[in-house]
């Protein structure tokens, strides 16, 4: 129920803001608005104060909305109202009215990010887990327990890293823009500062997914190698491993954190049946040796070893909160960066360097809406901001039937001095509608595939 209510609130708010942007600017430009609708199809609720005022309605299919000018009303424009039509307005005013919807979503994102920044969120501290062998981070000399304090692309403009979330964002930006990344590192106590260089520019053009992040080696926060839970009937339980045991070494390899345990277990089945491994654990102040033979499981067609334990405790958390001015400037910057990221990902999907699996639909939005609500108000506001940015950028794409398509028509009109002909407008609208339907079908397919564990 929480997920459904969060989903309805998310869609409702973003659609209202988008359509209100069109509506408010249209009225300011002297256009008479016939109807303001949230949703499509059969009208469930309507309100109209006078016969000549705008009709506000809620319709049955809540996956969008629209603002209808008197140009499109049944029976045509009544005598004396010609000057109130959308088509009678100047090119600049029509452009402003169409652009107002997406821009309202981007403005909303800034406000939502600002509110989330002022409230503050608990995020994992940027304490780094042991990077996998051969990863970019391991070759750079990063060790378990290092604290990433700041980042830079050129060694001059250093940006503070307040949390692991900031670090992941900086990594994503560096890969997308084909730039190296330098980190300023200290120990957990803040001492022993040093700088490390990550040549992430060499990864430019690659798919940003879990496999790439694993090859970089900075995906997990540091956690002590303490057994949190033992799965009944699993390999670890059969070997005598208990919750609370601290793993000191596996096959004489020192274990600095929980990530190393997980790495060794996963890789144990890389060359066939996993061998029996000697675990040395600390229990009640005493060192105990145990013989663990990992089981083999298939995950997405890949054989990995599994001991049947949950390793590690909750990572150290920090409250990330900004002041009044900084909260707003950070929000504006994040909205700009998210917009650029969204556009870049669309471009990469079009040319085939990013997977179409990145396209998400209403089921994924509903799932994340429910999860963010359970985490707290600031998390939900941040989630709303991300979806609002995506909606704004999506509507600015130059596809017929989207706002960006109409802006392209107006660009053509500005360059040639004449509007797009009705014949070509009809063709483009039909083609654009087909593309949008394909995109929605792909998004729904990806949603269902994720729910069924096929992706």
Give CA 441 to chain center in angstroms.
Answer: 20
Alpha helices by DSSP H, listed for 120-232, are 136-140, 164-177, 210-216
Residue 382 is classified by DSSP as: H
Whole-angstrom distance, CA of residue 398 vs CA of residue 429: 12
What share of residues in the chain are helix, strand, coil (percent, to 5)?
45, 20, 30
Strand duo 121-124 + 33-47: pairing: unpaired
Residue 383 C-beta-side C-alpha neighbours within 13 Å: 23
Give CA 98 to chain center in angstroms.
Answer: 26
Backbone angles phi, psi at 123, to 5 degrees: -130, 155
**Nearest partner of 124 among 153, 151, 154, 148, judged by Cα:** 148
Concerning whether 19 is annotated as a catalytic residue, the answer is yes
The total of other beta-carbon atoms located within 10 Å of residue 350's CB is 10
Whole-angstrom distance, CA of residue 351 vs CA of residue 367: 29
State the residue for tokens 């900031």. 166
In the set 19, 123, 170, 263, the catalytic residue is: 19
- Please check whether residue 55 is in contact with residue 41, taking contact to mean a CB–CB distance below 8 angstroms: no
- Please check whether residue 175 is in contact with residue 167, taking contact to mean a CB–CB distance below 8 angstroms: no
Q: Please state whether 158 falls in left (phi above 0), alpha (psi between -120 and 50) or beta.
A: beta
The total of other beta-carbon atoms located within 10 Å of residue 67's CB is 25
Q: Is 228 exposed, middle or buried (0-12, 13-18, 19+ CB in 10 A)?
A: middle
Integer Rg of the chain from CA: 27
- Please check whether residue 183 is in contact with residue 151, taking contact to mean a CB–CB distance below 8 angstroms: yes
**Nearest partner of 250 among 290, 207, 198, judged by Cα:** 290
- Please check whether residue 391 is in contact with residue 107, taking contact to mean a CB–CB distance below 8 angstroms: no
What residues act catalytically? 19
């Amino acid at each position: 129920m929480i997920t459904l209510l969060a989903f309805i609130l998310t869609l409702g708010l973003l659609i209202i803001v988008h359509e209100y942007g069109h509506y408010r600017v249209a009225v300011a430009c002297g256009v008479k608005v016939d109807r303001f609708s949230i949703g499509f199809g059969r009208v469930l609720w309507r309100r109209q104060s006078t016969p000549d005022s705008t009709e506000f309605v809620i319709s049955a299919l809540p996956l969008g909305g629209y603002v209808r000018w008197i140009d499109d009303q049944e029976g045509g424009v009544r005598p004396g109202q010609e000057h109130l039509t959308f088509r009678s307005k100047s090119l600049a005013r029509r452009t402003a009215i169409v652009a107002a919807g997406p821009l309202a979503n981007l403005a909303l994102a800034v406000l939502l990010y600002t509110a989330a920044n002022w409230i503050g969120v608990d995020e994992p501290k940027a304490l780094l887990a042991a990077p996998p062998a051969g990863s970019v981070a391991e070759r750079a000399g990063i060790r378990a327990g290092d604290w990433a304090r700041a980042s830079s692309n050129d060694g001059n403009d250093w940006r503070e890293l307040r949390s692991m979330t900031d670090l992941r964002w900086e990594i994503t930006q560096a890969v997308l823009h084909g730039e190296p990344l330098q980190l300023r590192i200290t120990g957990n106590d803040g001492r022993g500062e040093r700088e490390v260089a990550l040549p992430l520019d060499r990864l430019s053009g690659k798919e940003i997914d879990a496999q790439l992040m694993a090859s970089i080696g900075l995906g997990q926060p540091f956690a002590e190698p303490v057994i949190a839970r033992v799965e009944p009937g699993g390999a670890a339980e059969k070997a005598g491993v208990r919750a609370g045991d601290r793993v000191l070494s596996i096959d004489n390899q020192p274990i600095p954190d929980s990530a190393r345990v997980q790495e060794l277990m996963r890789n144990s089945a890389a060359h066939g049946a996993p061998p029996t491994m000697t675990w040395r654990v600390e229990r009640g102040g005493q060192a105990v040796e145990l013989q663990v033979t990992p089981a083999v499981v298939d995950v997405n067609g890949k054989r990995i070893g599994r001991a049947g334990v949950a390793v590690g405790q909750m990572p150290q958390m920090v409250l990330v909160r900004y002041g009044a001015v900084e909260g707003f400037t950070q929000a504006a910057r994040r909205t700009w960066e998210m917009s650029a990221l969204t556009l870049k990902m669309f471009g990469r999907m079009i040319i085939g360097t990013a997977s179409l699996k990145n396209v998400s639909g209403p089921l994924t939005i509903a799932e994340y809406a429910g999860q963010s609500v359970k985490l707290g108000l600031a998390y939900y506001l941040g989630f709303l901001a991300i979806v609002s940015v995506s909606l704004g950028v999506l509507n600015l794409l130059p596809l017929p039937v989207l706002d960006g398509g109409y802006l392209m028509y107006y660009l053509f009109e500005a360059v040639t001095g004449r509007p797009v002909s009705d014949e070509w407008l009809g063709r483009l609208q039909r083609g654009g509608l087909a593309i949008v339907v394909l995109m929605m079908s792909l998004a729904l397919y990806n949603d269902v595939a994720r729910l069924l564990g096929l992706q």
